[in-house]
Amino acid sequence: MAIFEYKGVGPDGKQSKGTVEADSSRTARQKLKSRGIYTTDLKERSLDSRSGSGVRSSSGGQTTVKLKSLT
């Protein structure tokens, strides 16, 4: 399993961030959604410390979600 770092919006409408363990980015998003968190950014932590930040984007770039689309 991999560790994913996320940023999102929680059920109360406030920004949320943290980590979740999952087999894939899709599973990570499903786990977060079941907790009421809608992800705005999801990155897999890389095991290779030579990669710079140690984080790899699972979406290929930054994703923006408007608050209006979440309600």
> Of 59, 43, 62, nearest to 5 (Cα)?
43
Neighbours of 25 (CB within 10 A): 18
In 3-66, where does DSSP find H-type helix?
25-34
**Structure-model confidence comparison of residues 46 and 66, the more confident one:** 46
Report H helices in the chain. Answer: 25-34, 67-70
Domains with residue ranges and CATH for the chain: 2-60 (3.10.20)
How far is 44 from 19, CA to CA, in rounded Å?
9
pLDDT number for residue 1: 86
Q: Is residue 45 within 8 Å of 5, Cβ to Cβ?
A: yes
Indicate whether this model's pTM tops 0.85.
no
Tell me: pLDDT of 14 over 70. Answer: yes
pLDDT per residue as tens digits for the range 15-45: 999 999 999 999 999 999 999 999 999 999 8
